[in-house]
């Protein structure tokens, strides 16, 4: 059955990040399965309001929170625009991401008149929900089917809101990220970082770890992919400590990103906190390169220590340097861990995740029918009520 699906997310292209990747991949997967999918997201300067498969409402602002940059949609006429869009498109189901975040997700919960699926992506401080949980619970109860991308994200949301939450993880596009062929190069191993250059992602710790390696005269180069508020400062710091060993590639277009992984020998993600899953880990695994990552709960849901890579404690620069040195010195260990990563990544193919989403949506169609019948009955009662009032 062909469904009309609205996907609401404040984070979407050109914004980079795990939520954007999730929304884009599921939208494309659902379209391939024959569904009519519209992504509803924030207006961004220079982007048209209407793009194929995308409608932008309000305008986007970026706010620092939880050590990262967060998208928020604002606009004086936002309720009218969003409500009008829902009336016009007549979706069978609406899927909202980060559903209890202001402003667009919460507004969607208030205005939606069809079944709503909500996916929770992140973990952060408990304080906002302690302060505002009572106000948010009535809107939370409007979510008909709740999903979380990991056990960590599920447990976080269930600490504050009652009811079941199903774990449906992020996925990886196995057509884009493939095991590489033998890499040509100069024999100097490459360490790759991919992520936003903000405090939470921990790039300063990776630079310090690489500085230790440079002092020990270990051969390597570091490639940093991404942009953000720390770029200038980290660029100056890295150039002083790692002169000739570091390249800041900046933001890379999605079609070029798989090539960055394929050209690397080790992937390192030194995030300090707040990671509920670790999509970049899957991308590295699918490419067949070993990983050095921090031992965050979200990362441990994807990576098994000493299988696909090595885990170290956040901010432990010396341990990170030792883990990197171990992999740099042992090409056989890199190959073994890379091969295990490829096997792990296959369990997270987007096709299976999109199929489960389709099943969730279909299960809510009876709810939509009940609500439509209730709305018709309410409209039919209105003339009787007006006559009685007269």
Given the candidates 3.40.50.2000, 3.90.180.10, 3.40.50.880, 3.40.50.720, the CATH classification of the domain at 4-171+349-389 is 3.40.50.2000
Give the range among 3-7, 109-113, 130-134, 148-152 with minimum mean pLDDT: 130-134
DSSP, res 167: E
For residue 349, what are the CA distances in angstroms to 177, 221, 286, 315?
Answer: 11, 31, 10, 31
The CATH class that applies to domain 190-346 reads alpha beta
- What DSSP letter does each residue of 68-112 carry, written as one string? EEEEEEE-TTHHHHHHHHHHHH--SEEEEESTTSTTHHHHHHHH-
Question: If pLDDT is split at 50, 70 and 90, which confidence band does 381 have?
Answer: low
Give the C-alpha distances (Å, rounded to integers) separating 15 from 41, 154, 235, 381, 389.
11, 24, 22, 47, 53
pLDDT at residue 385, as a whole number = 39
pLDDT tier, 389 (very low <50, low <70, confident <90, very high otherwise) = very low
What are the pLDDT digits (tens) for 81-110? 999 999 999 999 999 999 999 999 999 999
Ranges for all domains in the chain classified under CATH 3.40.50.2000: 4-171+349-389, 190-346
The whole-number average pLDDT for the span 295-301 is: 94
pLDDT at 325 over 60: yes
Residues 6+ apart with CB under 8 A from 196: 16, 17, 68, 69, 226, 227, 228
Q: What is the pLDDT of residue 68?
A: 66
């Amino acid at each position: 059955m062909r469904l009309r699906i609205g996907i609401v997310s404040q984070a979407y292209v050109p914004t980079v990040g795990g939520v954007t990747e999730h929304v884009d991949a599921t939208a494309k997967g659902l379209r391939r399965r024959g569904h009519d999918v519209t992504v509803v997201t924030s207006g961004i300067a220079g982007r048209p309001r209407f793009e194929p498969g995308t409608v932008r409402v309000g305008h986007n602002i970026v706010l620092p929170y939880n050590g990262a940059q967060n998208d928020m949609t604002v606009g004086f006429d936002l309720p009218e625009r969003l409500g009008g869009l829902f009336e016009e498109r007549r979706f069978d189901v609406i899927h909202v991401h980060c559903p209890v975040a202001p402003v667009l997700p919460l507004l969607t919960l208030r205005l939606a008149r069809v079944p709503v699926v909500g996916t929770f992506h992140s973990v952060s401080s408990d304080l906002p929900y302690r302060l505002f949980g009572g106000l948010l619970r009535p809107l939370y109860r409007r979510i008909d089917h709740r999903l979380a991308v990991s056990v960590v994200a599920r447990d976080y949301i269930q600490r504050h809101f009652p009811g079941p939450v199903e774990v449906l993880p992020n996925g990886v596009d196995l057509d884009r990220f493939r095991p590489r062929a033998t890499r040509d190069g100069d024999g100097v191993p490459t360490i790759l970082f991919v992520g936003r250059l903000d405090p939470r992602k921990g790039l300063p710790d990776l630079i310090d770890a690489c500085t230790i390696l440079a002092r020990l005269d270990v051969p390597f180069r570091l490639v940093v992919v991404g942009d953000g508020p720390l770029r200038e400062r980290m660029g100056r710091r890295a150039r002083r400590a790692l002169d000739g060993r570091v390249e800041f590639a900046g933001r890379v277009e999605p079609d070029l990103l798989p090539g960055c992984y394929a050209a690397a020998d080790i992937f390192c993600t030194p995030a300090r906190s707040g990671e509920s899953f670790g999509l970049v880990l899957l991308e590295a695994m699918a490419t067949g390169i070993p990983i050095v990552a921090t031992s965050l709960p979200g990362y441990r849901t994807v990576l098994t220590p000493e299988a696909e890579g090595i885990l170290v404690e956040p901010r432990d620069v010396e341990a990170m340097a030792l883990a990197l040195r171990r992999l740099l010195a042992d090409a056989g260990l890199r190959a073994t861990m890379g091969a295990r990563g490829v096997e792990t990544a296959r369990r997270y193919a987007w096709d299976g995740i999109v199929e489960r989403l389709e099943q969730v949506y279909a299960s809510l169609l009876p709810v939509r029918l009940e609500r439509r019948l209730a709305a018709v009955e309410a409209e039919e009662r209105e003339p009787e009520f007006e006559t009685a009032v007269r």
